[in-house]
Every structure is written in structure tokens, then in C-alpha cells.
Amino acid sequence: MSKRGGRGANVLKGANFEYDTEIKLDVKPELDFPIHPDLKKQSAPSEREARVLRNFRAYQSTVQAGPIYTHPTKRDTDAPAKTFSEEQFNKQYGVNVKADFDPFTGVDTYSKKYDPPKQTLPNLKRIKLDRKLFPKELWDVLAGASGDDIRANISRAGERKGAMIDANTVTTNGASEVDQKDMVKLIDKAGEEGEGDDEEANSENEEEEPQDETYEDDEDGGDYNAEGYFSGGEGDGDDGDDTAGGDDY
């Protein structure tokens, strides 16, 4: 430190800069978000407002615990809220369990079974809907006959997985002969493709598949379903509290 003072004296002739150990600068680095000069404190809620708050909160928590709430699937929760295009807006959502798997916190622990279940699709089975009041093209997802068809389809996909492990199940699951042949073909294929099974189940029901989404298979996939060992396969592995914690250190 004293070296700096000396250097100053050397550079400027006649001027003698002594390093002042007592000096206290009253300059602070400027804040990124300076404090508002005239900020007023929020007044406390009146009795009525307190009731309003409580009601709102009660409604919110009931919805969140209920069948119609869908949990956030943002990949990067710290990304800025502002987006500039539809593409960018859409990109921030959607989770591919395998690709976005976090090896540090993603592994299920025993206590995960206490976590509230996370749903990415509303559970229409649990609410009563009058299908007369909906457009026809939505009828197949509403509870009812056609909705059950889709359910059956999904469970068949699960069964196929089981079939790959144990060939005996093919004969016992009561499928028609045509189905059996298909199944055998599938098993042959499965040998080559390995994990490609999920996508196939999807393409059976949907003509358009813009994004590789995980399927909501709440049906039990036999003992092969290692992914959902604790949580039924729903967890996206991102607990939320593992935000890229680098900035704390």
C-alpha cells in the first residue's frame, strides 16, 4: 500500500501524495436495484382484507391439492421471465426425464414418498364433467367409454413391456390372435430398438407428436417399472431446490 503512495510521488513532480490511513470513503458500490427513495410501507390488512386473503389462499391450496392443477415443468427455473418469441416461450417448458435427469438430486430417496404427487396432466377421471357441454373433439379425453379405450391402450403398452421379459404373459392376457402376432413382432423389434417402446405407444394414439414428452402412465408397468419405484414414475427428478446454486458461493 505504501508503495502506491510512493509511486504517485515519483510520477508527479512536486506533488507529495501521502497515503492517508484514516481516510474513509463515503462511496459505496451502486446497487443493481437501488432502493426507492420514497417507498411507503404497506399498511396492515384490515379485518376484511385478512378474510379475503385467507379465502384466496384456501382456494388456491385446494386447487393445488386437487385433480385439475398442473405442476410447473420449467427446465430452468432461474431463466428470466421475459421471453421474446413463441419459440423461446415454449422452449422453457417440458421435461424429458431421461435427458434432463440430474444425477445429484434426481435419484429418488426413501423420503420422496412423502412428497405431494406432481401431475403434469389434469386428472379428468377425478372430476365430474358433463360431456354435453364440451365440444365433440374433446370427448375422448373426458371420462367415459372412449376414455376407457385409451386407458386400455396405455395399459396394453405396459403389458407389452412385461411380455418382453416373460413370454408366458402373452398367452395369459387374453389378447386376440392378431394381437398376439403383433406382439411377437414387437418383441422381435424390441430386441433391436431397446428403449423405443414408449414412443411407439404414443404414436398409436396421436397423429402429431411435436415434442418428446413423457407419458402419464399411472398404470403399473409390472415389476419392470424401475423408474417409478417410489413415485409411480411421475417425478420429473427436479425438486426445485436444486437451483444451480453456484451464486451462493
Site for other proteins in 104-123 (CB under 8 A): 111, 114-116, 120-122
CB of 142 to other proteins, least distance (A): 6
Closest CA to 118 of 232, 39, 35, 34: 232
Regarding 34 and contact with other proteins (CB under 8 A), the answer is: no
Regarding 129 and contact with other proteins (CB under 8 A), the answer is: yes
- What is the spatial distance between Cα 227 and Cα 108, in angstroms, rounded to a whole number? 9
Contact 163, 175 (CB under 8 A): no
Q: Say how far residue 190 (Cα) sits from the centre of its chain.
A: 29
Instruction: Pick between residue 83 and residue 171 the one whose CB is nearest to other proteins.
Output: 83
Regarding 52 and contact with other proteins (CB under 8 A), the answer is: yes
Regarding 126 and contact with other proteins (CB under 8 A), the answer is: no
Closest CA to 150 of 140, 158, 163, 162: 140
- What is the spatial distance between Cα 165 and Cα 159, in angstroms, rounded to a whole number? 10
Residues numbered 138 to 157 that lie near other proteins (CB under 8 A) are 138, 140-142
Work out which of 19, 56, 224, 229 binds other proteins, going by CB under 8 A.
Answer: 56
Residues numbered 190 to 209 that lie near other proteins (CB under 8 A) are 202, 205-209
The interaxial angle of helices 197-205 and 145-165, nearest 10 deg, is 160
Regarding 90 and contact with other proteins (CB under 8 A), the answer is: yes
